[in-house]
Amino acid sequence: MMGDIEQLARPRLLEALEPQPSDALLAIIGMVRRDPRPHKIDLGVGVYRDAAGNTPILRSVKKAERLLNETQETKSYLGGEGDVRFVELMRELAFGPGTDDRFIGLQTPGGCGALRLGVDLIRLANPAARVFIGQPTWPNHIPLVTVAGLEVVEHPFYDRDTQRILFDEMMTALEGAQAGDIVLVHGCCHNPTGADLSPEHWDALAEIVTRRGLIPFVDLAYQGLGHGLEQDAAGARLVIAASDQALLAHSNDKNFGVYRDRVGSLHVKAPTAQIAATAYSNLLVLARTMWSMPPDHGAAVARLVLDTPELAADWRAELNEMCTRIRGLRARLADFDPRLAYIDEQNGMFSMLPLSPDAVAELRESEAIYMAGSGRFNVAGLSDHNVDRFASAVVERLPA
């Protein structure tokens, strides 16, 4: 009987854990929800919103979901590679037509899963590889790399107060990288700054990675939301074409608006088809220990959209609508005051305002305007009827 067992030692496990701070953006979501003011503006959360402030399911996605519902006959296991046709379609979307058998890819739970799988592959192949990451960056990049056991080298990327890409500083840092080190770059619509590399920057990046034997790892999470599908992938294509080996983490959660369905893929370019096949077999083993198989629904829907010409055309139109709305809001902000002009030169959902933490808190308290403490705001969270109120509240609080 249990009662008769003498306990010789108390188990000790969970006592060793340190409490962790909660996610700052989740705290903002909570504050917005509790704020009763009807004119509140939520620019914290990183999802696209339409002019009415909603994040609706795209028409093309809804139709594909209905089609899937009617035609899908089994929910049996798919396998670790996920939906193979989906991956093929996404490879073409990211790289354009004509990739050869040095390129392999598999479906992952979102862009986050692709990044995690990619860094695990790097660690397996070369635990000494260091990952160069420009600052500021998406807050999950560094934890994703360090949890896999790789060393991160942070370098400057953007100065929030002058709104300049610190490209020379970035190049100087990369001159200190060794052959086999990894350069993690945002493909487009940089999160959190909106500041994307210019074609000249991409050329210079391609030159340095080739000359120094570095390996680009492109995070392409917002393809189509900056200047369109082709232009948004141009930099990634250029730097990967110049490289013998490269990785690309692709997310469809934003461009298909299927955030919670976790849709993404990891693509790898190897020096030969044989090495690509070996890398693929290793990716399958790594994925097996993390999520075993990726979730099917969202990828199956994206595949159906792209494989059905009317739905594909509709999706492209909807993506274009999202992109155009964001561009329109950026132009409105830029027109409002010369100090906001840089916003129109940036891309995607986010830009950063050079506001002090006190000014960000004041905007929240007196104007019911919510954004991240860093000054990052979601442009798509604005609408025609509040963009001027937002711009004027911000301009009043910009440093002299």
Ligand X SMILES: Cc1ncc(COP(=O)(O)O)c(C=O)c1O
Which position among 138, 157, 217, 342 is part of the footprint of ligand X (CB under 6 A)? 138
Does 118 participate in binding ligand X (rule CB under 6 A)? no
60 within 8 A of 309, measured Cβ to Cβ: no
Q: Which is nearer to ligand X, 110 or 226 (CB)?
A: 110
Long-range contacts made by residues 75-79, C-beta under 8 angstroms, separation at least 24?
A: 75/296, 77/293, 78/293, 78/294, 78/296, 79/293
Q: How far apart are CA 126 and CA 142, in angstroms?
A: 18
Residue (186 or 364) nearer to ligand X, CB: 186
Of 63, 64, 138, 380, which residue is the catalytic one? 138
219 is catalytic: yes
Min dist CB 273 to ligand X, Å, is 29
The answer to whether 249 touches 266, Cβ cutoff 8 Å, is: yes
Binder among 46, 80, 136, 224 for ligand X (CB under 6 A): 46
d(CA 312, CA 302): 9
According to DSSP, residue 48 is labeled -
| Residue whose CB is less far from ligand X, 112 or 270 | 112
Exposed e or buried b per residue across 95-104, where buried means at least 16 C-beta atoms within 10 angstroms of its C-beta: beeebeebbb
Query: Is 261 one of the binding residues for ligand X (CB under 6 A)?
Result: no
**Is residue 186 a contact point for ligand X (CB under 6 A)?**
yes
Is residue 138 flagged as an active site residue? yes
Strands 41-42 and 369-370: parallel
Of 52-60, 106-114, 146-154, 198-206, the segment contacting ligand X by CB under 6 A is 106-114
Least Cβ distance, residue 283 to ligand X (angstroms): 17
- Binding of residue 110 to ligand X (CB under 6 A): yes
Interface with ligand X, residue 158, by CB under 6 A? no
CB of 331 to ligand X, least distance (A): 23
Segment contacting ligand X (CB under 6 A): 109-117, 123-131, 269-277, 355-363? 109-117
Out of 58, 112, 214, 218, the only residue in the binding site for ligand X (CB under 6 A) is 112
243 forms part of the interface with ligand X (CB under 6 A): no
**Nearest-approach distance from CB 253 to ligand X, in angstroms:** 4
3-class SS of residue 224: coil
- Are residues 105 and 91 in contact, defined by beta-carbon separation less than 8 angstroms? yes
CA 111 – CA 220 distance, rounded (Å): 8
Nearer to ligand X, 247 or 359 (CB): 247
- Asked if residue 136 has a cis previous peptide bond (ω within 30° of 0), the answer is yes
Smallest gap from Cβ 195 to ligand X, in A, equals 13
Tokens of 144: 């994703």
191 binds ligand X (CB under 6 A): yes
Residue 221 known to be catalytic? yes
* Residue whose CB is nearest to ligand X in the complex, by number: 110
Which of 80, 82, 105, 111 binds ligand X (CB under 6 A)? It is 111
Residue 219 in contact with ligand X, rule: CB under 6 A: yes
Please report whether residue 255 would count as binding ligand X according to CB under 6 A.
no
Q: Which is nearer to ligand X, 102 or 194 (CB)?
A: 194
Q: Is 141 helix (H, G, I), strand (E, B) or coil?
A: helix
User: Of residues 120, 181, 253, 254, which has the active-site annotation?
Assistant: 254
Number of residues that bind ligand X (CB under 6 A): 12
Nearer to ligand X, 63 or 250 (CB): 250
CA distance 148 to 286: 12
**Residues 29/55, Cβ–Cβ less than 8 Å:** no
- Closest to 380 (Cα-Cα) out of 44, 40, 26, 27: 44
Burial of 40 (0-12, 13-18, 19+ CB in 10 A): middle
> What CA–CA distance (Å, rounded) separates 327 from 380?
9
Any idea which residues carry the catalytic annotation? 138, 219, 221, 254
**Interaction site with ligand X (CB under 6 A):** 46, 110-112, 138, 186, 191, 219, 221, 251, 253, 264
